[in-house]
Structure 1
Amino acid sequence: MKISTSKKVIAAIATVGLGLGALGFSASAATAAEADVCATGWTPSGLPEAFFPYSLDTGEVIPAGTVIKYDDGVVGAPNPVDPEIPYLAAPDDAFEPRIFISPRGKENVISEWLSVYAGTFMPGTKKVLQSPASLERFDAATFGAVKVAGGEYSLGFAYTKNNGVTLVGLGAYAHVTLTPGTAAWTIDLPECKKVVEEADGSPGDIGVEAPVVAPEPPVDGKFELSIPAGAKATLSGAKLVDGKSTATGVLPTFDVIDERAVSKKGWDATASVTEFARTSGTEKIGADALTIAPKVVADGTTSTGVAAQAGFQGSATAKPFATAAAGTGVGTTKLSADLTFVAPAGSVEGTYTSKVTVTVVSK
C-alpha cells in the first residue's frame, strides 16, 4: 500500500549513530550543529533505527497515546516525516524479514517470540519499506493468548535465515501495550525535537544563472565531519577461530570535508571505543576485542595527501584513524575501516553493544 504524506526535511547535523549489527556505534563531530533533529537512532535498546507507526488510512505518524484498534492498518518506518524512506539494508546473509511480537527484552530470541509472520524485502534489495505492524495479521492460533492476556510487549521486525529459524539481526521495534480481550493497543514513539517543513506541492524545475566573484582577500570555507543519518555497520559471519568467536564487517563510509583552501592547516581523525555489553545480560567484553583497520575510500575522495593510520584495537583512549599534514587534505575525504570482533574464549553467546566516537580536529 502506498502512503502519501507532506514533504518535510530534517535539519542536518554532523553527529549520528553508527550501528555495528546489534553493536551500536555513535560519532561526534568536529563542530556542533545548531539545529535540533529527530532522534532517528532511537529504539528501546538503542538500535540504530527507529520504529515510527504510520496509519494506512491517513498516511501520517500515529500520535503518542492514540488507541489503535486490533484490525487497524499500521506500518512501521524509520523516518518520522517520510514513510517512503526504507530501512537500511539487512546483512548479506539475511533471507527474509519476520514481523514479531515478543516479551520486552526478548526481541532477539526467536524462541521467545509469541507470534510471527513473514515480511518481504523491496525487489532486488535487502531493504524493508514500511514494515507491516497490524496485529490482525498475526496467526490467530499463536496470537490468541496474547490478545486475551493483553499487557506490555515489543512489536517489530528482524532479519532471519534458514526458514526463520536463525536470527541474523534485529531491524527495529517499539514497545506496545495491549488491552486484554480486544487487543486495542498503544505504542511508544521515539523522542523527537524539531523538524523543518517544506511547502506542499508538485515539484518543478526553474533554471537559475548567477555570477560569483571571489572574495577579497580569499577566505577559508567550512571544516566538518559528515556521517549519513542512520548509518550502521553489520558484523556477520561469526565463527569459532582457535576457540574464539570471530566476526567481521566494514565501517560505513563517512566524510571529512575541509574547504580551508587558503590556510590548508591539515587535520587529524581519531576513534575511541567503549566496552561491549550483552543486550540480554550483564556480561561485558573489553573494547580491545574490536580491531579497526582504517582506510581512505578512493571513490568520491577529492582531497590529496590523506593517510589512513595503522590498524588498532579498540580503547577508551582515542587512537589515530587518519591524518592530513599541513598543506594537504583540502576537499572531501571519504573514510572507512575494516572491522574484526574477536570475543574472548568462553564468552557468553549473545549480542553485544558498544559505542565508537569519531573526532576530527584541525592541526
Structure 2
Amino acid sequence: MKLSIKKAAAAGLAVALGLTAAGFGSTAASAAVGDWTPNGTPQPYFIYSTDTGEVVKGNNQAGTGGTVLKYTSGLVAAPSETDPEQWFADAPAEAEDAYVFIAPVGKESTISGWSSRVSIGFAPGKRGILQPFSSLFQFPAASFAAVKSAGGDYSLGYAYTKNNGVTFVGLGAYTTVHITAGTADWTYDYPTAIVGQPPVDPNTTGQVAIEAPVAAPVNGALSLSVPTGAKATLGAAALNSSGQSVSTGTLPTFQVTDKRYVTKPGWTVNTSVAAFASGTNTLEPSVLSIAPSVAATSTSTGVTKVASLLGSVTAGTFAEAAAGAGTGVTDLSAALTLTAPLGTPAGTYTSTLTVTAVSK
C-alpha cells in the first residue's frame, strides 16, 4: 500500500514523497485520545513507512525488537495504528506554528533544549497536523550532526509555538527513538496506552500513635556578659573637611541573656560614657557617637536598637526588648566615632563606657 501524496502534501511537508494514491479508507479504526507512552504525550505517535504504507514495527511489540530504520528512510506519523490518514488533534487556539523536533528525553517542552527542528505549519483552514514527517534526513544537517555523531535516546515528535517559534505553546505528540552513533540507524518505541494508576491497597498504609511529654518552662534570670578586659581601640585619627580630628572603631560584642521564659517582661540596655582624658586635657563624652547593632548570631527575637546616640554621663537607651520578646541570647555591638573639637591638643584620650541591662 502507498500513502496518499495529496494528504501528505497538505500537511506542509517540504520534500515531495513521490507516492501514489492510498488504499487506506477514512473509516479505519482510530486510536483514542488519552495518556500514552512515553508518559506525557497526549496522543500516540505511530510511524509509517512511505514506501510500504505500513505502520513500522516498534520495540514494544511482540517479536525480537523494532524495525531498524535508516537515516534516509521515508517516514511519516499518525495517531492511529491502522489509519495513516487520520489527523492529529487540533492545536491550542494561541498556536501560530507547529514544528517537528528531535530533543533529548525530558526536553520535549523546552524549545532551547531541542537538538533540531523544522517548521511544518498548518494546512489552509486546518488546526490539526496530518502525517508530520519522521525521517531523520529531513532535519537540517548542521543541527542534526551532533545527534548523528553522538547517538543515544531522543524524543521525536511535534509541538506548537508562537512568536515566530520562540514561545512554546503546547506539546503535540512524540515517541522515544534510539539512534546508533555515526550511522543514525534507529528504532522507536511502539506507543501503548497508559492505564490509570492501580488503586492503593489499604493494607499498605497504617498509623502509629505518638505520645511525648513536654516539661514546663522554667523562669530563669536576666544577665549581662561583657568580655573580661574588653577594650575598644579606635583607629588612627584623621582630619575631616572641617579640620576636626576623627577616629573610628568597634565596640567589643557583649551579650544579654534572658532566661525568663515564663514571665517574659522584656528588658532595656543602657550605656553611659565618662569624660575623655589625656593627661590634663579632657573631652566631653558627647564627642563619641555610638551606632548600636544586633548581631545575626542572636537567638532572641523582637529586639530593637536605637539608630545612634551620643556619649553621656547620663545613661541612654542602647537597645531593648518589649514584653513578650527578647528571651534567649542577644549579641550586641556598636560602631564608634570620636570627633574632637577644633583646637583639641593631640594625644591618646581614654574613657569608660558602662553597659547596664535593666528588666522592664
TM-score (norm 1): 0.44
Higher strand proportion (structure 1 or 2): 1
**Which entry has the higher C-alpha Rg, 1 or 2?**
2
Q: Name which structure has the greater RCO, CA cutoff 8 Å, separation 6+.
A: 1
